[in-house]
Amino acid sequence: MKDLQNIKQRFGIIGNFEGLNRAIDIASQVAPTDLSVLITGESGTGKEIFPQIIHSFSTRKHGQYIAVNCGAIPEGTIDSELFGHEKGSFTGATDSRKGYFEVADGGTIFLDEVAELPLSTQVRLLRVLETGEFIRVGSSKVQKTNVRVIAASNVDIPRAIDNGKFREDLFYRLNTVPIRIPALRERGEDIFLLFRKFSVDFAEKYRMPAIRLEPEAKNILLNYSWPGNVRQLKNITEQISIIEKDRDISPLVLSVYLPEYGGVKLPAVIRKEDDKSFSSEREILYKILFDMKSDMNDLKKLVFDLIGRGDSDLQFSETNQGIIKNLIREGFAPGAHPGEPAVHPKVDFSPHASRGDIQDTEEVVEESLSLAGKEEEMIRKALEKFSGKRKLAAAELGISERTLYRKIKEYDIES
């Protein structure tokens, strides 16, 4: 713990977050070795400090330390900057020049934003890491260098590999020892410590009293997402220190300096590259309707699955009975293949039916609505009731005995 505090004090690191302490510990442990290190983290988290820690505690501490921002060098000159060039190798090359890998021989080179390197330069870098060899631009002579490479990136390199923008073999060669720097929004109370440190520093720089946060303003500071991380916090603290006359900063004043402050932390929405945005409200409405249709189909299938299983625990309220009858009326039959007739389950909703009394049939027999058929049926029942006595049967039906006799002949009823 003492070594950790000494490192923080030496390199001006503020904070006690566990993830930050872990990153410092890994950097100090890997420093005596010559292993390649890949530092990842969002922009503004302070990744540039950790290569300095590694170099200072390594056996190369007396050698050259060169930091290169790969994203700031034009693609046409990056090979010349890193590996050097010969006189006349390209327009403007009036003299031979050593590259960073040649100058830093015996020391450490820090490649910041390494994911910005062109693919052709990545091939050259991979050769240096594997064999220590490089060739100047415009030369055919192979040279040797003994350089430790520390790289950093704020982009998702595995995704860049999937998109064909970064070599997978180079990633594994650089990622021998990974170090992740936590984002400021993850560090909790460290935000207050950093704000206080920056406010004191700017008070001394501009010769004015240090600014202080009211209790409610501290909550805003903690709940803000800090997309720019420590760099953004430092810039905002400097702005407030210079502009605000009142040294006690209220929540209202602080929120003015925080872009798009939402009040509370919400889950971040990450847009995938293949996501399609909606160009109008109509498209959004269509999307909602299609989703609702899909949900209804899932609900229908669930209901019919329950009916088909004949679950003994299945109960139907009057509302549920109406829903199921509507589903059957709509002709929905889960499991039916295109072109085949739908198969509807027959469900008994009578109060005397048991909960498990559910039957599946191939077809539903509909009751005949023919008047002639009903008339024949009633005559047969009346004759059966009075054991074939036509006079009593006619009286029961409310017709004359002669009419009954005629109907018996018409329907060919044996009495």
pLDDT at position 379: 86
Which tops the pLDDT comparison, 368 or 132? Answer: 132
At 252, the amino acid letter reads: L
Inform me whether the pLDDT recorded for 393 exceeds 90.
Answer: no
Going by the DSSP 8-state scheme, the letter that residue 116 receives in this structure is: G
> In the CATH hierarchy, which top-level class contains the domain 2-182?
alpha beta
Instruction: Sort 24 into a burial class: Cβ within 10 Å, 0-12 / 13-18 / 19+.
Output: buried
Lowest mean pLDDT among 19-28, 91-100, 196-205: 91-100
Task: Round to whole Å and give the CA distance between 147 and 127.
Answer: 12
The pair of structure tokens assigned to 261 is 């402050």
Contacts of 388 (CB under 8 A, 6+ apart): 415
Domain ranges of the chain: 2-182, 186-256, 286-360, 371-410
For residue 212, how many other CB atoms are within 10 A of its CB?
13
Residue 396's pLDDT band, with cuts at 50, 70 and 90, is confident
DSSP alpha helix (H) spans, 58-134: 78-83, 100-103, 119-131
**CA-closest candidate to residue 357, choices 345, 342, 347, 368:** 347
Which tops the pLDDT comparison, 188 or 328? Answer: 188
Please give the average per-residue pLDDT across 30-55, as a whole number: 96
Inform me whether the pLDDT recorded for 266 exceeds 60.
Answer: no
Please give the average per-residue pLDDT across 355-365, as a whole number: 47
**Reported pTM:** 0.62
Average per-residue pLDDT for the chain: 82
> In the CATH hierarchy, which top-level class contains the domain 371-410?
mainly alpha
CATH architecture of 186-256: Orthogonal Bundle (1.10)
Task: Round to whole Å and give the CA distance between 272 and 52.
Answer: 35
For residue 58, how many other CB atoms are within 10 A of its CB?
19
Inform me whether the pLDDT recorded for 76 exceeds 90.
Answer: no
Lowest mean pLDDT among 64-68, 174-178, 324-328: 324-328
Orientation of helix 371-385 relative to helix 401-410, angle to 10°: 120
The pair of structure tokens assigned to 167 is 């070599």
Please give the average per-residue pLDDT across 29-36, as a whole number: 95
Vertex 172 angle, CA 11 and 55, to 5°: 25
pLDDT single digits (tens) 195-212: 999 999 999 999 999 999
Task: Round to whole Å and give the CA distance between 77 and 138.
Answer: 13
Where residue 139 falls (left for φ over 0; alpha for ψ -120 to 50; beta otherwise) is beta
CB 188 within 8 A of CB 222: yes
The sign of the CA dihedral 9, 12, 16, 20 is negative
Which neighbouring-strand residues pair with 248? 212
Inform me whether the pLDDT recorded for 235 exceeds 50.
Answer: yes
Which neighbouring-strand residues pair with 345? 360
pLDDT single digits (tens) 309-350: 655 444 555 555 565 556 555 555 444 444 444 455 555 545
Residue 259's pLDDT band, with cuts at 50, 70 and 90, is confident
